[in-house]
């Protein structure tokens, strides 16, 4: 019951922000991207069961500081999300400019998996960013309150740094993160923490020409293979070191 109340509140928040956007009739321009990747990975683990995936994102500013975002990802029947073929994310975020290159962002994100009952969950998001020259440094926190669909609660803390390489069409982004949380149901908790608490890291390099980006990503974790397979939601092959390639179109 608590799960349903949390998801209902999250959906209401996102829908209210979307309605506000329509009423505001802002002149701000929407943006988006469509990406094809050899493996869709988040926080060091595969969401598409190691298979080629399509990822589409649309972002719409509501005001200068408030934005809403929708995301759709093909999951290829991933066991991590009970065999779902599609993942839908909806989020709303407020960005405050503190001056001197410093920004703070707060928001909520809902993760939904059509056709699969009791798999959706929500998170509260916070990001502290600092721009210095062409580089952006960020510290972030994403917290999922206790929900049956993820077997407890989940906290992801980390940092990333990235930016364009001056006088070149290349950009680079590196991150490190730590996932922790309380466990009420080990089987469900393995969706986001296959080996209990774990650390992940990664590097992305892209070359951009016009509105097209081609790149590679490396991601890794300290998840032990023999433990990662203990739950049907955690394929041991989805949590190891991986090099993936992608091509994205921005509009």
Q: Is the pLDDT of residue 157 over 80?
A: yes
Q: Is the pLDDT of residue 5 over 50?
A: no
Residue with tokens 């975020």: 93
- Residue 93 C-alpha from the chain's centroid: 13
Predicted confidence at residue 235, as pLDDT, reads 79
pTM above 0.75, yes or no: yes
For the CA atoms of 42, 198, 224, 110, the dihedral, rounded to the nearest 10 degrees, stands at -30
24 — alpha (psi -120 to 50), left (phi > 0) or beta?
Answer: alpha
Instruction: Write out the two tokens for 26.
Output: 């802002």
Percent of the chain beyond pLDDT 90?
Answer: 78
Mean per-residue pLDDT for 89-117? 96
The answer to whether 49 and 40 are in contact (CB under 8 A) is no
For the CA atoms of 243, 203, 164, 132, the dihedral, rounded to the nearest 10 degrees, stands at 170
Predicted confidence at residue 227, as pLDDT, reads 56
Over the stretch 37-84, which tens digit does the pLDDT of each residue have? 999 999 999 999 999 999 999 999 999 899 999 999 999 999 999 999
Residues with Cβ within 8 Å of 153's Cβ and at least 6 positions away in sequence, in order, are: 143, 144, 145, 146, 147, 181, 182
Q: Is the pLDDT of residue 6 over 80?
A: no
Using a 10 angstrom Cβ sphere, with 0-12 exposed, 13-18 middle and 19 or more buried, the burial of residue 87 is buried
Mean per-residue pLDDT for 3-25? 44
151 — alpha (psi -120 to 50), left (phi > 0) or beta?
Answer: left
Q: Between 191 and 6, whose confidence is greater?
A: 191
The answer to whether 58 and 30 are in contact (CB under 8 A) is yes
DSSP label at 118? T
Predicted confidence at residue 177, as pLDDT, reads 98
Q: Is the pLDDT of residue 19 over 60?
A: no
The overall average pLDDT reported for the chain is 89
Domains identified in the chain and CATH numbers: 2-250 (2.40.160.40)
């Amino acid at each position: 019951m608590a799960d349903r109340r949390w998801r209902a509140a999250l959906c209401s928040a996102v829908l209210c922000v979307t309605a506000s956007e329509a009423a505001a009739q802002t002149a701000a321009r929407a943006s988006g991207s469509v990406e094809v990747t050899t493996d869709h990975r988040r926080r060091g683990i595969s969401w598409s069961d190691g298979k080629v995936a399509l990822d589409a994102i649309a972002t719409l500013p509501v005001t200068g500081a408030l934005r809403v975002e929708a995301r759709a990802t093909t999951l290829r029947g991933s066991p991590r999300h009970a065999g779902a073929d599609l993942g839908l994310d909806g989020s709303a975020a407020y960005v405050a400019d503190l001056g001197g290159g410093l920004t703070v962002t707060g928001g909520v994100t809902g993760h939904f998996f059509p056709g699969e009952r009791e798999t959706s969950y929500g998170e509260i998001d916070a990001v502290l960013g600092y721009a210095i020259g062409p580089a952006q440094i960020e510290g972030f926190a994403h917290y999922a309150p206790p929900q049956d669909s993820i077997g407890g609660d989940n906290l992801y803390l980390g940092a990333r740094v990235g930016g364009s390489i001056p006088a070149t069409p290349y950009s680079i982004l590196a991150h490190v993160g730590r996932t922790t949380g309380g466990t009420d149901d080990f089987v469900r908790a393995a969706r986001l923490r296959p080996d209990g608490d774990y650390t992940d890291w990664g590097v992305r390099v892209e070359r951009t020409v016009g509105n097209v980006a081609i790149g590679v990503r490396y991601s890794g974790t300290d998840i032990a293979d023999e433990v990662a397979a203990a739950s049907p939601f955690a394929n041991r092959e989805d949590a190891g070191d991986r090099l993936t390639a992608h091509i994205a179109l921005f509009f």
